């Protein structure tokens, strides 16, 4: 064994010993884990991957990496992502154990009534007025539309309550509860993550120190065609992050240049499948002409289109590279692999797609023409923020007008709002019902005043190339894939049909590493548990 491999082995051993030495009590009882304690957890979010996508792929690709992992794993067919089903709350659920109720994060494009916009001037200037559109996406990059990994602080919102409105709110300060990266790192384990925007710095958690290694190249980089307008470019983008994970499996940092030891908990998101579901057709002229979404067969079943199938195949091959690297390093048996998705995408059935413009204003048409227009018709300037992909979130500047807005939205018509207020399970979520699910917008600065639950198949967009999106409460948005796998599991090749939530992944990670879940702050607000091993059992 050469000196470099000795360093890697010692580093990994130190991590395992450090974690094993700090088994913690959960509810007064020492945690027991019949599967044994793992040295590593590899978490993979295949964004957009539905439970049915995973089942269909495994059935038709019996020699694939996903099929092999299913053979030594537990597949949860009734797993639910967060509502709203967005990347930011979806990722937080997996690592904090909390929904927006405890994390305070509803969307990557939201609003906070207590923060001030990035352009506000320091107090006592009257421009520093609370109420800020908070966006945790590509807009924060130092160099937009390049593979940058750096945030421009001047684009961050300001905190009027801190130092006279001069304190910038970095992404990690936004979530209200801690995460597994912070807990594992405090226990002596190394942590790493790779994702699609530099704003995923938010995974450092409120402490700001949760990640030892973050690799987050901006996905919206463009060279003639934006990455997410191309299946080929998105797959190539994912390849950069896959290389980072393989480097980490091999005991290096994400660059492959520094020996640091394989992390105790690490992982990445895949973006290609989501693009395969959302993009109508390949936009890069030099790439194969593929189409996205699903094909509805004569018998009513759905199968992946050529573009979606290509992204599924490519993602599976990438996961296979990671499994091979774990096996080569002798780590496969001591690593728990968790595969899920931050969100699904809807609609899956292409015949149900209806595009609605949420912000259209047509002065030649009598009456309000869009959701934004409906709100503004109640009171000019009333709309503080509208985030609308498949489940519109509405923040108002004057909460006393909420009833009036709800009344106007219900009267506006489905073609304007995308909702049918008379249909079961659709319409408007507000008031006591909204507060019971999350919190009261009158006392919580983050909660939307109104959430719309539209007709299935509605996508709020003006883009003719977009055929699906996420953000809503429907099954296509929230019924995501969930698979945990290891040759060391006590009960492999198991299918669990009981309802579970992706937020249970956080507790499962900690249990796998020999730790309890009591350290998760979300547990104080909305308790959870680790993923059960069989139907009807914990």
pLDDT digits (tens, 9 = 90+) for 406-450: 999 999 999 999 999 888 888 999 999 999 999 999 999 999 999
Give the span between the Cα atoms of 376 and 223, in whole angstroms: 38
Q: For residue 123, what pLDDT band results from cuts at 50, 70 and 90?
A: low
Largest CA distance in the chain: 78
For the ranges 4-8, 88-92, 140-144, 441-445, the lowest mean pLDDT is seen at 4-8
Query: 146 or 173, which is more confident?
Result: 173
pLDDT of residue 53: 98
User: What residue spans define the domains of the chain?
Assistant: 3-87+248-348+474-524, 354-460
- State the average pLDDT over residues 476-487: 97
The whole-number pLDDT of residue 32 equals 38
Each residue of 329-386: pLDDT tens digit? 999 999 999 999 999 999 999 999 999 999 987 777 778 899 999 999 999 999 999 9
Angstrom distance (rounded) from CA 139 to CA 367: 34
Comparing 115-129, 262-276, 296-310, the range with the smallest average pLDDT is 115-129
**pLDDT tier at 222, thresholds 50, 70, 90:** low
**pLDDT value for 36:** 79
| pLDDT computed for residue 126 by the predictor | 63
| Helix, strand or coil, per DSSP, at residue 344 | coil
pLDDT at 20: 42
Look over the chain and give the mean of its residue pLDDT values, rounded to a whole number.
91
Residue 83's closest CA among 459, 429, 525, 418? 429
Average pLDDT (294-322) is: 97
Tell whether omega for the bond before 120 is within 30 degrees of 0, i.e. cis.
no
Say yes or no to pLDDT of 119 above 50.
yes
> Per-residue confidence at 6, pLDDT binned at 50, 70, 90?
very low
Mean pLDDT, residues 195-214: 96
Has residue 459 got a pLDDT over 50?
yes
**Which of 143-147, 399-403, 468-472 bottoms out in mean pLDDT, i.e. has the lowest?**
143-147
Task: Give the right CATH number for 3-87+248-348+474-524 from 3.40.50, 3.40.720, 1.10.3720, 3.10.20.
Answer: 3.40.720
- Give the gyration radius of the chain's Cα atoms: 23
Percent share of the chain, pLDDT over 90 = 79
Q: What is the pLDDT of residue 144?
A: 62
> Would you state the CATH architecture of domain 354-460?
2-Layer Sandwich (3.30)
Helices (H), 479-515: 504-512
146 SS3 class: coil
Question: Nearest-CA neighbor of 198 among 217, 179, 181, 172?
Answer: 217
Find, among 394, 405, 378, the residue nearest to 453 by Cα: 394
């Amino acid at each position: 064994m050469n000196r470099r491999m000795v360093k890697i082995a010692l580093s990994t051993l130190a991590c395992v010993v450090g974690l094993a030495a700090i088994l913690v009590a959960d509810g007064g009882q020492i945690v027991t884990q019949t599967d044994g304690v793992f040295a590593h957890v590899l978490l993979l979010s295949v964004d957009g991957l539905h439970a049915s996508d995973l089942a269909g792929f495994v059935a038709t690709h019996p020699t694939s990496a996903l099929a092999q992992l299913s053979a030594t794993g537990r597949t949860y067919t009734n797993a639910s992502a967060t509502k709203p089903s967005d990347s930011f709350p979806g990722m937080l659920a997996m690592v904090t154990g909390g929904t927006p109720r405890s994390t305070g994060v509803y969307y990557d494009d939201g609003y906070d009534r207590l923060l001030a916009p990035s352009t506000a001037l320091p107090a006592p200037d009257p421009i520093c007025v609370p109420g800020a559109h908070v966006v945790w996406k590509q807009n924060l990059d130092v160099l937009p539309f390049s593979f940058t990994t750096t945030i421009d602080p001047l684009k961050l919102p300001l905190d009027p309550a801190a130092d006279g409105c001069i304190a910038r709110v970095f992404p990690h300060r936004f979530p209200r509860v801690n995460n597994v990266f912070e807990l594992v790192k405090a226990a002596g384990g190394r942590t790493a993550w790779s994702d699609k925007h530099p704003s995923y710095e938010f995974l450092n958690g409120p402490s700001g120190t949760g990640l030892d290694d973050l690799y987050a190249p901006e996905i919206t980089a463009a060279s003639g065609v934006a990455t997410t307008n191309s299946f080929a470019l998105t797959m190539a983008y994912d390849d950069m992050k896959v290389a980072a994970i393989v480097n980490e499996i091999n005991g290096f940092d994400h660059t492959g240049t520094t020996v640091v030891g394989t992390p105790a908990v690490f992982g990445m998101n895949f973006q290609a499948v989501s693009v395969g579901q959302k993009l109508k057709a390949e936009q890069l002229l030099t790439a194969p002409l593929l189409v996205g979404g699903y094909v509805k067969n004569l018998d009513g079943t759905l199968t992946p289109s050529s573009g979606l199938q290509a992204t599924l195949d490519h993602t599976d091959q990438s996961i296979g590279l990671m499994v091979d690297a774990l096996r080569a390093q002798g780590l496969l048996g001591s690593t728990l692999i968790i595969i899920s998705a931050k969100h699904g995408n809807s609609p899956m059935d292409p015949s149900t797609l209806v595009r609605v413009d949420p912000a259209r204003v047509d002065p030649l048409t009598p009456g309000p023409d869009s959701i934004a227009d409906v709100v503004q018709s109640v009171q000019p300037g009333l709309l503080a923020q509208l985030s609308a992909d498949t489940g519109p979130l509405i923040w108002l500047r004057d909460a006393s007008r909420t009833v009036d807005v709800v009344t106007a939205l219900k009267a506006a018509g489905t073609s304007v709002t995308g909702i049918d207020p008379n249909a079961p399970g659709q319409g408007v979520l507000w008031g006591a019902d909204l507060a019971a699910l999350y919190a009261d917008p009158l006392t919580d600065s983050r909660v939307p005043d109104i959430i719309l639950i539209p007709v299935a198949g509605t996508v709020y967009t003006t883009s003719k190339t977009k055929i699906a999106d996420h953000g809503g409460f429907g099954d296509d948005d929230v019924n995501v894939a969930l698979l945990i796998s290891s040759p060391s599991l006590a009960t492999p090749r198991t299918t669990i049909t009981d309802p579970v939530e992706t937020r249970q992944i956080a507790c499962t990670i900690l249990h796998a590493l020999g730790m309890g879940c009591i350290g998760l702050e979300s547990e104080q607000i909305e308790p959870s548990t680790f993923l059960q091993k069989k139907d009807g059992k914990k």
